A = this chain, B = another copy of it.
């Protein structure tokens, strides 16, 4: 059983600001979409790389939270992005986040961002630290 989808984004005001919509949420795969609004762009009118990294980072955080044991928290400790192709204003970017490693101390996620033709735009690999709840 996982947390309700709406709550996961609602907990991250910046993810709401970006307009991220979760599509499918499972412990082994999180899918979402983001429309490239004009205010997410750089110049020329393509999505700012930072908005794409923030989209992916949000998916990694959601995915980690679905795999935490009760009371534990998480924080991103490092993230690596490769950019392959731009996302023009008005287009929709699809994100899919899957695990590379789910350990007791760290989890590592890889997020692929693609356009609606299936072309890989961005690849993000990020490490999440698992923060154990204090012993009671």
Contacts and interface: CB of A to CB of B under 8 A. Distances in A.
Q: How many copies does the complex hold?
A: 4
Contacts of A53: 50, 53-54, 57, 79
A62 B6 CA distance: 36
A48 B15 contact: yes
A57 to B, nearest CB: 4
A41 B53 CA distance: 15
Interface in A34-81: 38-43, 47-51, 53-58, 61, 75-81
Contacts of A136: none
Given A14-B39, A83-B76, A123 B105 contact: no
Contacts of A108: 82, 84
5 contacts: A12-B41, A14-B48, A49-B54, A49-B61, A82-B125
